[in-house]
Amino acid sequence: MDKTQKNMAEFLARIVVTELVKKKKMGLATDEQAVINIVADIIYEDFHVEEELNEKVRQMLKEHNKELQSSNADYNKLFNMIKKKLIEEEELDI
């Protein structure tokens, strides 16, 4: 997962930076690869924060698994509701 996320972050960063430069929406005062690396690090960190949040939500739902099964609750709906609430509570910028 970590290597995959890193590769995806680098891929997305390359597309974003290259397109912004190509469309003259962004000028560079430094090497394009250096900017791509910085953007990739930011994207990767965001992936990491979101994965930690997802794990926290999964753990919360796991702790209440029996209650959820007996109530026939929609796991995905609950997952998204809890995630949204945690984002608000922790003031995350996701």
**Using one digit for the tens of pLDDT, what is the confidence trace for 16-74?**
999 999 999 989 988 999 999 999 999 999 999 999 999 999 999 999 888 888 888 88
CA separation, residue 7 to residues 18, 62, 84 (Å): 16, 30, 27
Tally of domains in the chain: 1
- Which residues fall within 8 angstroms of residue 79, CB to CB, at 6 or more apart? 57, 58, 61
Would 74 be classed as within a structural domain? Answer: yes
Would 17 be classed as within a structural domain? Answer: yes
Question: Which pLDDT band holds residue 94 (cuts at 50, 70, 90)?
Answer: confident
Which domain range does residue 10 map to?
Answer: 2-89
Res 1 pLDDT > 70: no
Predicted TM-score (pTM) of the model is 0.76
- Which residues fall within 8 angstroms of residue 27, CB to CB, at 6 or more apart? 21
Would 24 be classed as within a structural domain? Answer: yes
Would 73 be classed as within a structural domain? Answer: yes
Would 53 be classed as within a structural domain? Answer: yes
Q: Measured between alpha carbons, how far is 41 from 6 in angstroms, rounded to an integer?
A: 8
Name residue 37's amino acid: N
Would 75 be classed as within a structural domain? Answer: yes
Would 56 be classed as within a structural domain? Answer: yes
Would 27 be classed as within a structural domain? Answer: yes
